[in-house]
Each structure stands twice: as C-alpha cells, then as structure tokens.
Structure 1
Amino acid sequence: MTIRVLLVDDQPLLRHGFRLVLAAEPDLEVVGEAGDGGEAVRLVSILHPDIVLMDVRMPGMDGIEATRLIADEAPLVRTIILTTYDIDQYAFSGLRAGASGFLLKDVQSADLVDAIRVVARGDAVVAPSTTRRLLTAFAHRIPADATTDAEQPDPLASLTDRERGVFAGLASGLTNAEIADDLSLSDATVKTHVGHILSKLDLRDRIQAVIFAYENGLNSRRA
C-alpha cells in the first residue's frame, strides 16, 4: 500500500528536500504541502493523508496546535513532529498533543523514510531510551494531581492484573522485549497486551501511554 504524506513547514526549501527524499521511495507519496498549521489542518480534511510531517514554529497556527486539531478531527491521521532540538518543550508538547513521535530536522534520509513506515504501521518513532530522557526532562511540567489518592477513580480500572503489569513497563519506557523479560512472557504476548491496553485506555501509541502514566501519577509506582 502507498503511504500518503503531507509536508508542513514554512520553509519551501525544506519541504522540497523532504519531497525529493520521499519521491525516491515506491511506497511513499507526497500528496500536498502546507506552510503553516492552519493550512495543514485544512489540507488534512481534503487530502486525507496517512502521515503528516509537521514543523513546530510557523507563522499563524503553530505545529503543536495543528497537531492537536488533527488528532481530534482526524484520529486516523498520524503526525510526526519535526523539531530542531533533540529534547525540548516543542517535542514534548507535540507528543502530548497527539503526535506519534518526533524527529530532528537534520534526520538522515533512511531514518526519515523508516520512521514514516513505522508510524504508518501504528507504532511510534521515539525510541524508549529517548522517551525516558524526554519525560525525565519535562516531568516537572506535568501536574501531579490527586489522581493517586485512594478516593479518586482508578485510571487503570479497565485493565486486568496482567495488563497492569505490562502497563507498568510501558510507563517506564521499556521495549516489548524488556517487558517480556521482566514478566517472563513472550514478545508476542506482550505485544497483544499492549494492543489491548492502548485500546482500553483510548491511547494512540506507547508514547501516549507513558504520558498518560505521568499525567495520572502512575510513573513512580508499579501498577
């Protein structure tokens, strides 16, 4: 199947460079370009891309707000944030807004292509080690509210005991293999549990699961 990509960046030369890279791949098709977030949101509703490569700092609507609107209005469309810095507030805000990952703008061509394919399959492009660094750097920005109090509803009430164990691994940024080793399960079993967890908690991917854990005060304890 051809993966349809929308390029969003206020610099035409960058868009042109990304287009050239993607045009060389038989399974990737650039279906449109936008120079700001508002135009990106409009084109998503018209062109129905599979993937949006989204710049952050643009005139008018920025990439974070555009990502949030796309996640709300077109949940099947997945966004990859393109940022100048490895770990910064833009990348984190983009992930919280619903992006399925982030890349540096100087990403190698092969890594960009691979990331698009990975996200199109429903996974995320942020490595677990990077996820841990990112969330460690910005955990203080997330309010630790009363959701950990015994009187508050359990945010994991819909999960089975085994799924809670797998979720604890997700919350720590572990890979499926690491979770499998920790819980003495097969990789296939862990993958199945991860799918059930994301579905039950209405989360897009494992990055959103980590953020969900921090937002609900679950990061400091085993589920």
Structure 2
Amino acid sequence: MKRLLIVDDHPVFRNGLRLALEDAPEYDGIVEAGSGAEALAELESGYFDMAIIDVGLPDISGFDILEARAREAGSPRFFVLTMSADPSLARKALRYGASGFASKNLALGTLLLALRLVDSGELYVEGEILRDILTAELRFPRARSEQYGKLEKLTERERAVLDALLEGCNAKEVAGRLGVSQRTAENYQSAVYAKLGARTAVELVRMAISAGICPAG
C-alpha cells in the first residue's frame, strides 16, 4: 500500500480530496499539509509515494517545493493540482520535476486514473491543457517557446499581477485583489513589465496573446 501527501491551503478542498481518495484501494496512509512549510516538514520526516500539491501556497510556492525535492532520491512523485489551467504553469511544473499537472476542475474519476498513470512512471497532463501546449508549439514553436520562457521567470505573485493587468485592472485594483498596498502593487507591476520586456500595456497584451494566455478576441 502507498502513502500520499496532499498539500493545499484550502481546508475544505484538502479534506474533501482526502475523504474521496481514502476510498481508493491504492492508499493506506493520507497526510495533509496546509502550507509549503508543513509540506517540507512532512517530506523530511516521512516517506511518501505520491504528493499532490497546489502551486499557490500562502508561504512558499509549490514550484519551490518541486525545485527543492522533486529530483531528490527517495522523493515522491509530484502531481500538481491547481486552480489554473494555464499551459505555461504546466510546462514550468514539468520542467521543475512534476510528473503530473491538472486543474481542480478535473473529475474525481479522471484524477484517480491520472494518479495511477503517474504512479506507474508515466507523465500526465490534463487533456485541454496538453492540447493548448501542443497547439502553441505547432503554430508558433520559436515565438511561443521564447514567451513561455519569460513567463516562467515570474513569481506566483507576479503572475497574479499579470492576470489582473490583462483583465484591465489598475494598480489600486491590483492592490485590493492581492491585499497589499498600492505602492507594493506598483512595484510588482514594474517587475512584471521588466521581466517580460514590455514597455506599455499594449505590448503586455500582445505578448500574452503570442504566448497563448490571453485570447486575441
């Protein structure tokens, strides 16, 4: 039997997922962690066959956990389960050592099949996300690769700022959404523009469309 670690900062979702997976015959030990620090502590203190992690944790990013542990000997296979279906996040997760990536909209039955696939040593990416990745690569292989590379340099907080900017939010609205001061939001905004090489909002949107994360219509 196998041990599973669930890492998510939303207790209702985390507990619900644990209860659902307890009925699966594969797992006889399921442990929960509500933050990145708790997850790292659990990974240090015990052995797990699989870890389901969200990337948007309150203290450290799930990507930081992947970077620290995914390629270490004796580490579990990591399956990223997050709110976003953004293909650039999937690419980044796989590059950091994850074996699976899916959005939280994935049906439970499909998730169980995906976990079994990953447990057997295969990679899994949710169908629509994989389709978007392949479509981007086939249509604009070089341009998309360059834009994805820029996106992967953004931190989770900077990515949230980018999403807000693409929705037309100003600095004050970004600050309200993130729960930070307007000055802090402006600093994040400046970092996003600098990392993506955009000078204006128009260039930012054009880059997002080129990367496939912002609809052209």
Normalising to structure 2: TM-score of the pair? 0.58
Partner of 2:166: none
Partner of 1:64: 63
Structure 1: how far apart are the matches of 2:128 and 2:95?
A: 18
Partner of 1:86: 85
Determine if contact 1:3/1:28 at 8 Å carries over to the other structure: yes
Determine if contact 1:41/1:69 at 8 Å carries over to the other structure: no
Structure 1: how far apart are the matches of 2:101 and 2:126?
A: 10
Structure 1: how far apart are the matches of 2:20 and 2:124?
A: 18
Determine if contact 1:118/1:124 at 8 Å carries over to the other structure: yes
The farther-off stretch of 87-96 and 37-46 is 87-96
Determine if contact 1:37/1:63 at 8 Å carries over to the other structure: yes
Partner of 1:194: none
Structure 2: how far apart are the matches of 1:36 and 1:55?
A: 9
SS of the equivalent of 2:124 reads coil
Shift of residue 85 of structure 1?
2.3
Determine if contact 1:32/1:47 at 8 Å carries over to the other structure: no
Shift of residue 38 of structure 1?
2.3
- Counterpart check, 1:142 vs 2:142: no
SS of the equivalent of 2:13 reads helix
Q: Aligned AA for 1:4?
A: R
Percent identity between the two aligned chains: 32
SS of the equivalent of 1:72 reads coil
Partner of 1:149: none
* 1:13-44: CA deviation from partner (whole Å, max 9, x where unpaired): 11111111111112223431111122212211
Shift of residue 87 of structure 1?
2.5
Note the aligned Cα RMSD (angstroms): 2.3
- Counterpart check, 1:116 vs 2:115: yes
Normalising to structure 1: TM-score of the pair? 0.57
Structure 1: how far apart are the matches of 2:64 and 2:75?
A: 17
- Counterpart check, 1:3 vs 2:2: yes
C-alpha distance 9-74 of structure 1, shift in aligned 2 (>3 A): farther
Q: Aligned AA for 1:142?
A: G
Structure 2: how far apart are the matches of 1:33 and 1:22?
A: 12
Q: Give unpaired runs (5+ residues) of structure 2.
A: 138-143, 151-217
SS of the equivalent of 1:44 reads helix
Partner of 2:41: 42
* 1:126-165: CA deviation from partner (whole Å, max 9, x where unpaired): 268843632637522338xxxxxxxxxxxxxxxxxxxxxx
SS of the equivalent of 2:30 reads strand
SS of the equivalent of 2:25 reads coil
